[in-house]
């Protein structure tokens, strides 16, 4: 007889993640992660692939375990003037970027640099509320001395999983697009080249007889 058990009964509930304070905070950029292409599918718009990058900061605020809060934000990696990433960088460095500067801007040059983050509460689809980086601005020089010496940073394994998730979805998106556009699978190898005629012993004998007859007739072999 089957055991009577309710859905989810006995499962260990994951402890709620401690959220950073919802406020303006001083932070240091610790990492820039290239997430590759992500499938974006918004209602009323055709799905597309967009290059994504994740910026990871450590706030100077600490959690109950004494660790610096980690904040991050995913951006579309675009140098266009309307792109949020370009707007945030411009606010961070304290001036607008020219198109040439934006195209040549190295995001990793910001690693280790402090800034001011505006952190707001955002409601996720699952009903949870989490801290979201809403704005990035230049840190006033008088606040720089407040920045502590940060411990060594190690990228969390989660980001490798996220990159693979995006890569798998992008590959499937490309495959479906190829099928929709009428692309077919590559032809079998046997169809890519004309078959090579096999030279049998019988053919060799016939060639030898023809050559000998031609010599006897004082004619060049055919």
Other Cβ atoms less than 10 A from the Cβ of 38: the count is 21
Rounded Cα–Cα distance for residues 126 and 16 (Å): 13
Answer for the pair 77, 85: CB distance below 8 angstroms, yes or no. Answer: yes
Rounded Cα–Cα distance for residues 61 and 69 (Å): 6
Give the residue ranges of the chain where pLDDT is below 70.
1-16, 183-222
Which pLDDT value is given to residue 210? 53
CA 185 to chain centre: 26
Cβ-based burial of 183 (10 A; exposed 0-12, middle 13-18, buried ≥19) = exposed
Which pLDDT value is given to residue 198? 45
Across the beta sheet with 24-40, the strand order is 68-76, 48-62, 24-40, 114-123, 129-137
Rounded Cα–Cα distance for residues 111 and 27 (Å): 11
Q: Which pTM does this prediction carry? A: 0.74
Rounded Cα–Cα distance for residues 162 and 35 (Å): 7
Which pLDDT value is given to residue 203? 45
Answer for the pair 107, 98: CB distance below 8 angstroms, yes or no. Answer: no
């Amino acid at each position: 007889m089957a055991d009577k058990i309710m859905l989810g009964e006995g499962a260990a509930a994951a402890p709620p993640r401690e959220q950073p304070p919802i406020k303006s905070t001083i932070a240091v950029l610790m990492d820039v992660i290239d997430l590759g292409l992500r499938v974006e599918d918004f209602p009323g718009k055709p799905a597309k692939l967009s290059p994504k990058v994740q910026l990871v900061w450590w706030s100077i605020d600490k959690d109950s375990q004494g660790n610096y809060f980690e904040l991050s934000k995913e951006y579309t990696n675009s140098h266009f003037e309307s792109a949020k990433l370009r707007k945030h960088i411009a606010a961070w460095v304290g001036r607008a970027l020219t198109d040439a500067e934006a195209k040549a801007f190295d995001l990793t040059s910001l690693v280790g640099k402090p800034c001011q983050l505006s952190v707001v509460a955002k409601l996720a689809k699952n009903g949870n509320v989490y801290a979201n980086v809403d704005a990035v601005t230049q840190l006033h020089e008088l606040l720089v001395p407040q920045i502590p010496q940060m411990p060594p940073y190690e990228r969390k394994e989660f980001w490798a999983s996220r990159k693979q998730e995006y890569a798998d979805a992008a590959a499937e998106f490309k495959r479906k697009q190829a099928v929709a556009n009428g692309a077919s699978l590559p032809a079998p190898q046997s169809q890519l080249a004309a078959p090579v005629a096999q030279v049998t012993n019988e053919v060799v004998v016939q060639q030898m007889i023809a050559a000998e007859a031609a010599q006897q007739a004082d004619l060049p072999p055919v």
